[in-house]
Amino acid sequence: MKQALKQRLEEHLITEKPYYLASGKEVDIALAAHKNKLPLLLKGPTGCGKTRFMQFLAWKLQRPLITVSCHDDLSTSDLVGRYLIRSGEAVWADGPLTLAVRAGAICYLDEIVEARKDTTVVIHPLADDRRELPVEKLGELLSAPPEFMISVSYNPGYQSVLKDLKPSTRQRFVAISFDYPDPEREVEIVCREGGVDQGLSHSLVKLATMTRSLKDSGLPEGASTRLLIQTSQLVKDGIDIHVACRAALVEPLSDDPEMLAALNEMVSSIF
Amino acid sequence: MKLARLTERFYDLVAPDIPNEWDVEEVMEPFIDENDLICEAILGHIPVIWPVSHSLCYDFLRLLPNTLLHLSLEQVPRWIGVTLDLYETDGLRAAQRFMQNDLKKYLSQLAGRGGLSFSSVEKQLLPYICGIARDTLQIAPARQSYTDTTSIFVPEELNQFSNNDDNFLLYKLILTFQWGFIACGSLLNKPPGEFSNLPSEETKHSLWLRTFFDSFKEPLLARDIYHTLESIRVRIFLDNELPGLMRAAGAQIFHSFLPCSEQHQPEKTLRSMQQALTADKIEIHPLLAQHLTEKESHTYCQGHASAEDSVRITSRLYSTLQRKKQEYTPLSPLPFQGVFKLRAVETARKIQEQKMGEQFADMMAAHLLSLSKKELADVLKQDQRDSGNTGLAESDISMIMDSEFASTANREPEAPLLITINNEELQLPPELEDFTKNFLDEFGHLPARFLSSAAGKAGQTMLEQDIAGKNEDDQPGTEALLYNEWDYRRQGYRKNWCSLHFKTLKPVHSGFIRNTLEKYHGLTIRLRHQFEMMRSQERFVKRQREGDDIDFDALVEAISDSKAGLASSDRLFIRLKRDERDIAVLFLVDMSNSTAGWVNTALKESLILMTEAMEVLGDRYGIYGFSGMRRSRCELFHVKHLSEPYGEQVKERISSIAPSEYTRMGPPIRHATSILREVDAKVRLIITLTDGKPEDYDDYKGKYAIEDTRHALLEAKAADIHPFCITIDHQARDYMKHMYGPANFIFIDNVRKLPLRIPEIYRVLTS
């Protein structure tokens, strides 16, 4: 059993340093939060580096990172664990949250607002000074070791009012707000991650800021840093810049034909 | 057709209006010789145009004989459609002009020969330029291309190129170039350092640039020199900023602007400088080069020059280029260059200042109101005393502003802003302070009227809070909304045709609710029970392949199966299943006059039973009544909003539902659609309870009314909202099928059964 646990955890350990360019004090804050056993709440638009930040943090702390992508069918037992039947016997299987608590790992619940509110409450006792997880079906009360950390993320931008965090959940966390990096940093990130030169990266970032300013004109969210990186990866592999922008940047943003046309015109103006 | 017959038909069509006889005779006379069929076709257009504009209708008839020489009778409705669209966007004059002069253009457009019209590409260009500018800009058609810094104006149509792709590129170039002037700060409003001593005349709104041009003997020459210099700067800026666009322009557009030669100076020089704008790579004109130091020409080429540099060079160039004898003839700009319209910029600045000022006043008023009562009273005491006496002008409110406030000249950037109202010094909250600083940077001063307006607003609100229970019929804080109406004859919308007013029903205390609930006691209990069954419960489903817990029955079976040597099932888990009812429904209740009596009572009773049942079910629902008279006063009565809890107030409002006026169905349905469009629900419903056809006092009846309602319902369907209708009209079947679609309405023959049937219908509809 111990062996299996160890093996499962090793899969979650990040061995290579992930690339992350800090744009503020977020790394210091997160490290201090970890030291003081405080949970983290990351908010920010899609593709601005929240998940990458968690990977970087896990690497820095040398703890396994267990990520759960939340969805509206996620149940408490999906997080905590359940009995399974194996060859006529009931066998208990830990859920990701329980696993993380046992191993003192970092548990990262991505897009927490997508989960149902009654599911989110299981993390409450873990996210305050009790730091414990009751596993009812086993009759166990697990106390989290000091290395354990829970962190959640959500995007305040596009979720509807129905999908908001309950104040009782919200008020347990140290919150770090993320946004797209400032232009210089973004250029550097795109250069480095997309493997393209400064000039192209600069133009891509310019295009991204243009799309981000279209919020009032009917585009719900502008191009994310992730899209820029993906575009530049296509370019690096020899795809024509106009084609790459259309495929990796324009089309993912909208389905509205007029908006698409306008975005394409921006692309052809810049490149 | 005889004239008498024609005029008679005309009067029939425009009733109840009674136009002048001689007017009618004059416009109908040319059609005497036409046969009946043609006359009827022509007369058929009158009800389309008459209600929109009488004089347009006369003009139409007057011009029709001539128009019919070019258009066939079948083409006329489309032509009318275009004319009416124009009338609704640009007014009578534009529509008349179109009918009178633009027939040829319209014909060539019909034949697909026309250039590219602005309206056909506006929807692409607007997000394009907003994106490029990273700011919200407006675009609009005009005779010349220019910008007033908040909007960019471009020609209504471009036909420079035979190929519309190139015309589109030219549109892009014009827009981008005009934005270039904004981005490069060409439209200076402050003098550069060494020019600050130039007499700055008249008001604070006039642009310094105009003062600068006027200081020359030939302002136009100065303007053109500056314009050309700035165009060069913008060109260089765009070469760096948007190389793709400039490359495309170089390949497709620039070559077509052929050099035209000028004989004389200074036109010749300016023209050749202008021509340089269309070169593949911009070069500094030799004459210009003479006036530039090496460093300056370097900054120009690198795109580091500023508008101030251009001002300086303009005055140097002017002295070389000016002539003594002949007057300067202004240069016509290249199509994408546009012109400078300084007056427009000044107007835009004025509007901007007003807007920001009002915003400031609102913020300030909010801040004042957030102060403690006493502080506020101190600030406002004089104000209130004054306004108690007379209706006062703003100047009567004493307003002393901090010296730092009066001008920006010597303001230290870090000094805190203080505002003094009635001798009370106020420290501004940071947000307001930032806003104020921005305002001062932009406009140099803060007019006192905005401060007094803030104090006024705060005082007003405080007064309103003091006088509780303002008795108003119209819901406070809501303005009437305008909705389009569909005209089937025109196959288009009458724009902003109906205004929908929001009204509150005054709650009535009566025994109605109690009596109803007593009367239908048995039914309510049954309904509650039925609706409870529909409630989406979280329930356990057994025998699942995976789940939260082990299903022991299944497990025992599986083990005994396997002991007996049979294949055992792998469905061993219990799963919590959640079928959520995610429904939002709006009830629209007909409050027309015809519902008086039993119908109204039955409607109210059904609503009460319905709401009682709905509360058990937990679906989100709203209730609105509608009525009104004529398009200018369609009314929507609020009974319950979607998110409002069900309580005494709502009950009382239901019992106060009473027959009112007419049934104009389009606007309430459109409004319901717009409400539901914002709601996130899996199923969205509009249920209309009515007793008859849509009808209003004016021409909203018969086919027109049915077609408009049908169109409103189609709009709802397009927004993924299901309309449904419950009617008690005996003749309902024919038109209802047409309006709602065959399966989307139900007819109830006995009014008294209404309360029993409605909840049932709802149950069937949503499960």
Task: Dump pLDDT digits (tens) for B141-161.
Answer: 888 889 988 899 998 888 778
Give Cα B523 to chain centroid, integer Å: 47
Q: Amino acid letter at A257?
A: P
Domain that holds residue B53: 3-110
Average pLDDT estimate for B81-96: 84
> How confident is the model over B19-76, as pLDDT tens digits?
888 888 888 888 888 888 888 888 888 888 888 888 888 888 888 888 888 888 888 8
State chain A's maximal CA–CA distance in angstroms. Answer: 67
A135-144, B87-96, B385-394: range with lowest mean pLDDT: B385-394
Angle ∠(B462,B463,B467) on CA atoms, nearest 5: 120
Q: Nearest-CA neighbor of A169 among A37, A41, A35?
A: A41
CB contact under 8 A, B131 and A217: yes
**Cα nearest neighbour of A241 on chain B:** B244
CB contact under 8 A, A268 and B572: no
Mean residue pLDDT of chain A comes to 88
Residue ending a domain, among B441, B466, B491, is: B466
Identify whether residues B165 and B21 lie together within a single domain.
no
Highest mean pLDDT among B221-225, B274-278, B567-571, B739-743: B221-225
Confidence at residue B324, expressed as pLDDT on a 0 to 100 scale: 63
B218-222, B223-227, B386-390, B453-457: range with lowest mean pLDDT: B386-390
pLDDT-derived band at B399 (thresholds 50, 70, 90) equals: very low
Identify whether residues B44 and B139 lie together within a single domain.
no
CA A87 to chain B, closest CA, distance in angstroms equals: 10
Confidence at residue B316, expressed as pLDDT on a 0 to 100 scale: 83
**Cα nearest neighbour of B242 on chain A:** A270
pLDDT > 90? residue B600: no
Confidence at residue B387, expressed as pLDDT on a 0 to 100 scale: 42
Q: Which of A76, A82, A262 minimises the CB distance to B128?
A: A262
Residue from B130, B173, B577, B583 to probe the interface with A (highest A Cβ count within 10 Å): B130
Average pLDDT estimate for A216-222: 78
Highest mean pLDDT among A65-69, B261-265, B571-575, B743-747: A65-69
> Which SS3 state, helix, strand or coil, does residue B499 take?
strand
pLDDT > 70? residue B418: no
Confidence at residue B299, expressed as pLDDT on a 0 to 100 scale: 79
Q: What is the distance between the alpha carbons of residues B83 and B99, in angstroms, rounded to a whole number?
A: 7
Token pair belonging to A143: 């106390």
A91-95, B139-143, B330-334, B441-445: range with lowest mean pLDDT: B441-445
Confidence at residue A223, expressed as pLDDT on a 0 to 100 scale: 92
Distances (CA, A) of B89 to B85, B95, B344, B584, B685: 6, 9, 21, 36, 33
Q: What is the distance between the alpha carbons of residues A211 and A224, in angstroms, rounded to a whole number?
A: 9
Collect all residues of chain B within an 8 Å Cβ-Cβ radius of residue A214.
127, 130-131
Strand ranges in B488-645 using DSSP code E only, listed in sequence order: 492-504, 538-544, 549-550, 573-578, 583-590, 620-628, 634-640
Contacts (Cβ under 8 Å, ≥6 apart) of B530: B613, B759, B763
CB contact under 8 A, B131 and A267: no
Confidence at residue B469, expressed as pLDDT on a 0 to 100 scale: 38
CA A215 to chain B, closest CA, distance in angstroms equals: 9
pLDDT > 70? residue B295: yes
Confidence at residue A31, expressed as pLDDT on a 0 to 100 scale: 95
Confidence at residue A39, expressed as pLDDT on a 0 to 100 scale: 94
Q: What is the distance between the alpha carbons of residues A58 and B671, in angstroms, rounded to a whole number?
A: 52
B41-45, B166-170, B741-745: range with lowest mean pLDDT: B741-745
pLDDT > 60? residue A253: yes
Token pair belonging to B222: 């100065």
Q: Is residue B21 part of a domain?
A: yes
Identify whether residues B264 and B389 lie together within a single domain.
no
CB contact under 8 A, A265 and B172: yes
Q: Which of B125, B241, B572 minimises the CB distance to A85?
A: B572
pLDDT > 90? residue B257: no
Q: What is the distance between the alpha carbons of residues B31 and B27, in angstroms, rounded to a whole number?
A: 8
Q: What is the distance between the alpha carbons of residues B684 and B387, in angstroms, rounded to a whole number?
A: 50
> How confident is the model over B537-588, as pLDDT tens digits?
667 788 888 777 888 888 888 888 888 888 888 888 888 776 677 788 888 8
Number of C-alpha atoms within 13 angstroms, CB side, residue B401? Answer: 15
CA A89 to chain B, closest CA, distance in angstroms equals: 10
Confidence at residue A28, expressed as pLDDT on a 0 to 100 scale: 94
Token pair belonging to B284: 């500094």
> Which SS3 state, helix, strand or coil, does residue A174 take?
strand
Average pLDDT estimate for A194-216: 90
Contacts (Cβ under 8 Å, ≥6 apart) of B762: B585, B610, B613, B687
Q: Which residue has the higher pLDDT, B381 or B264?
A: B264
Chains A and B form CB pairs within 8 A to the count of: 82
A124 Ramachandran zone, left/alpha/beta (phi>0; psi -120 to 50): alpha
Give the B-side interface with A, CB within 8 Å: 123-128, 130-136, 172, 176, 241-245, 248, 547-550, 555, 558-559, 562, 572, 576, 680
Q: What is the DSSP string of B671-723?
A: HHHHHHHT---SEEEEEEEESS--B-SSS--HHHHHHHHHHHHHHHHHTT-EE
Contact B261, B274 (CB under 8 A): no
> Which SS3 state, helix, strand or coil, does residue B55 take?
helix
Distances (CA, A) of B272 to B251, B266, B285: 20, 10, 8
pLDDT-derived band at A196 (thresholds 50, 70, 90) equals: very high
Distances (CA, A) of A79 to A91, A97, B3: 16, 5, 86
pLDDT-derived band at B380 (thresholds 50, 70, 90) equals: low
Average pLDDT estimate for B522-540: 73
Give the A-side interface with B, CB within 8 Å: 75-77, 82-83, 85, 88, 90, 137, 160-162, 206, 209-214, 216-219, 258-259, 261-263, 265-271
Identify whether residues B547 and B592 lie together within a single domain.
no
Q: What is the distance between the alpha carbons of residues B56 and B533, in angstroms, rounded to a whole number?
A: 61
CB contact under 8 A, A263 and B131: yes
Collect all residues of chain B within an 8 Å Cβ-Cβ radius of residue A266.
128, 131-132
> How confident is the model over A2-15, as pLDDT tens digits?
677 777 778 888 88
CB contact under 8 A, B136 and A217: yes
Residue from A265, A266, A267, A271 to probe the interface with B (highest B Cβ count within 10 Å): A265
Collect all residues of chain B within an 8 Å Cβ-Cβ radius of residue A218.
127
Residue ending a domain, among B578, B597, B629, is: B578
Token pair belonging to B354: 């007003």
**Rg (alpha carbons) of chain B, rounded to whole number:** 35
Taking domain A2-177, whether its CATH number is 3.40.50.300 is answered by yes
pLDDT > 50? residue B680: yes
- Residue A134: which H helix or E strand, with range? strand A132-135
Q: What is the distance between the alpha carbons of residues B723 and B731, in angstroms, rounded to a whole number?
A: 20
Q: What is the distance between the alpha carbons of residues A162 and A59, in angstroms, rounded to a whole number?
A: 35
pLDDT > 50? residue B264: yes
Q: Is residue B476 part of a domain?
A: no
pLDDT > 60? residue B405: no
Mean residue pLDDT of chain B comes to 78
Identify whether residues B684 and B754 lie together within a single domain.
yes
Token pair belonging to A179: 């946004």
Average pLDDT estimate for A116-140: 88
CB contact under 8 A, B245 and A268: yes
Average pLDDT estimate for B286-313: 79
Confidence at residue B195, expressed as pLDDT on a 0 to 100 scale: 66
Q: Nearest-CA neighbor of A33 among A138, A140, A106?
A: A106
pLDDT > 60? residue B401: no
Identify whether residues B105 and B133 lie together within a single domain.
no
Q: What is the distance between the alpha carbons of residues A31 and A44, in angstroms, rounded to a whole number?
A: 19
Confidence at residue B579, expressed as pLDDT on a 0 to 100 scale: 67
Collect all residues of chain B within an 8 Å Cβ-Cβ radius of residue A216.
130, 136
pLDDT > 90? residue B501: no
CB contact under 8 A, A211 and B176: no
**Cα nearest neighbour of B578 on chain A:** A73
Contact B368, B458 (CB under 8 A): yes
pLDDT > 50? residue B392: no
Q: Amino acid letter at B468?
A: A
Q: Is residue B362 part of a domain?
A: no
Q: Report the percent of chain B where pLDDT is more than 90.
A: 2
Q: Nearest-CA neighbor of B64 among B110, B103, B23, B111?
A: B103
Q: Amino acid letter at B62?
A: R
Q: Which residue has the higher pLDDT, A22 or B659?
A: A22
CA A133 to chain B, closest CA, distance in angstroms equals: 18
CB contact under 8 A, A262 and B176: no
CA dihedral B249, B250, B256, B259 (to 10 degrees): 130
Highest mean pLDDT among B268-282, B346-360, B417-431: B346-360
Confidence at residue B595, expressed as pLDDT on a 0 to 100 scale: 75
Confidence at residue B373, expressed as pLDDT on a 0 to 100 scale: 65
pLDDT > 70? residue B686: yes
Identify whether residues B180 and B215 lie together within a single domain.
yes
pLDDT-derived band at A56 (thresholds 50, 70, 90) equals: very high
Average pLDDT estimate for B91-105: 81
DSSP code of B622? E
Q: Which spans in B322-420 are helix H? A: 342-370, 373-389, 403-406
pLDDT > 90? residue B634: no
Q: Nearest-CA neighbor of A109 among A169, A29, A187, A198?
A: A169
CA A166 to chain B, closest CA, distance in angstroms equals: 18
**Cα nearest neighbour of A214 on chain B:** B131
> How confident is the model over B327-362, as pLDDT tens digits?
777 778 888 888 888 888 888 888 888 888 888 888
> Which SS3 state, helix, strand or coil, does residue B266 take?
coil
Q: Which of A160, A216, A266 minimises the CB distance to B680?
A: A160
Confidence at residue B408, expressed as pLDDT on a 0 to 100 scale: 39
Identify whether residues B106 and B136 lie together within a single domain.
no
Contact B706, B694 (CB under 8 A): yes
pLDDT > 70? residue B411: no
pLDDT > 90? residue A243: yes
Identify whether residues B660 and B686 lie together within a single domain.
yes
Identify whether residues B125 and B61 lie together within a single domain.
no
The total domain count for chain B is 5
CB contact under 8 A, A213 and B130: yes
Average pLDDT estimate for B380-409: 41
**Cα nearest neighbour of A84 on chain B:** B550
Q: What is the distance between the alpha carbons of residues A228 and A235, in angstroms, rounded to a whole number?
A: 11
pLDDT > 80? residue B491: no
pLDDT-derived band at B409 (thresholds 50, 70, 90) equals: very low
CA dihedral B470, B472, B475, B476 (to 10 degrees): -50
CB contact under 8 A, A262 and B562: no
Identify whether residues B651 and B703 lie together within a single domain.
yes
Average pLDDT estimate for B473-489: 73
Q: How many residues does chain A have?
A: 271
Average pLDDT estimate for B649-678: 85
Contact A232, A196 (CB under 8 A): yes
Collect all residues of chain A within an 8 Å Cβ-Cβ radius of residue B547.
82
Confidence at residue B199, expressed as pLDDT on a 0 to 100 scale: 55
Report the sign of the C-alpha dihedral through residues B314, B316, B321, B324, in that order.
positive
Q: Which of B123, B125, B244 minimises the CB distance to A268?
A: B244
Q: What is the distance between the alpha carbons of residues B303 and B467, in angstroms, rounded to a whole number?
A: 62
Identify whether residues B125 and B261 lie together within a single domain.
yes
Q: Nearest-CA neighbor of B188 among B215, B202, B214, B206?
A: B206
**Cα nearest neighbour of B130 on chain A:** A214
pLDDT > 70? residue B691: yes
